[in-house]
Amino acid sequence: MLNLVQTEFLKLRRRKFIWLMLLGALFMPLVAILYFGTSNTSEISPMQFYKWTAFSYTMWIILPLVLGMLCTMLMYDENQNDMLKQLWIIPVSRMGYIFSKFAVVLLYSICFMLFTAVSSIFAGVIPGIIVLTRDSVSFLLIKCLEIGLLIPFAIIPILAVAASQKGYILPVCVTIVYTFFGFVLLMVKMYLHPLSSTTAIIMRNIDGVILNEAISIGKSFLCIGIWGIASIIWAKIALGNRK
C-alpha cells in the first residue's frame, strides 16, 4: 500500500497543473482583502475574516472542485492508455489501487487547507485588517485541518466516477454538478449529500452560523459513510470489469 502511495506521488512530480491548483487557496483571502479593505478594521474580528477566507466558498466550492479535478487527473492517464491491464497482472489489488488514489487526494486536501490558513493569516495581518490572537490562529488551523480531512471523504463518489470512465469530460461535468448540488442542499436537505453533510459537521462550532436544519453529527457521518461505501464498491466493480 505504501509503495502504491509513493508511486502516485512520484507520478505527480511531472504534473505542474497539480501545483498550480494550489493557487486556488489564495482566491478567497484575496477577495476578503478587497471586501474588508474599505471597512472600519476596528469592527472586524478574526473570526469574521476567516469566515470569508476559509470557512465559506473555499470549503463549499473551491476545494471540492479542485479535489474533483485531482481525482480525474489521477485516473485519466492509466484509464486512457489501458495501463490497468498491466497493474492487474503484477498484481495490484483493486482496493489497494483505489485507496492509494484516495490517500493522495487526502494529503493534497490537507496541504491545500493549510495553505489557505497561512494565506488567510497573511491576508488579514499585512493590510492591518485583523489583529492576531493565539485563540483565533489555533481555531483557524484546527478548523482548516478538519476541513482538509473531511472533504476528501465527501469526494469519494467523484473518485468512483473517474475510476469507471476512460475519458475526463464526464468526471469533470459530474464534479461541477456534484459540487453545485452540495452547495444548494446545504440550505434544503443537508443530510442527502456528502458535501453538505460534511459542511454541517464543520459548521457545528463556528459562531454566527445559522442553518435551516439542526446539526446532527450522526446523520452527517451516516450520509458520508453510505455514499462512500457505495462508491468504493461501485469503483471496485467497475475496475474489475475492465479487461
> What are 243's three cell numbers?
479487461
- Tens-digit pLDDT profile for residues 123-174: 988 888 888 888 989 999 999 999 999 999 999 999 999 888 777 888 899 9
d(CA 181, CA 105): 21
Q: Lowest-confidence range among 85-89, 94-98, 139-143, 188-192?
A: 85-89
127 contacts: CB under 8 Å, gap ≥ 6: 33, 37
33 contacts: CB under 8 Å, gap ≥ 6: 123, 127, 129
Report the predicted TM-score, pTM, of the whole model to 2 decimal places: 0.90
> What are 81's three cell numbers?
492508455
107 contacts: CB under 8 Å, gap ≥ 6: none
> What are 153's three cell numbers?
471523504
The whole-number pLDDT of residue 45 equals 85
- Phi, psi of 188, deg, nearest 5: -120, -70
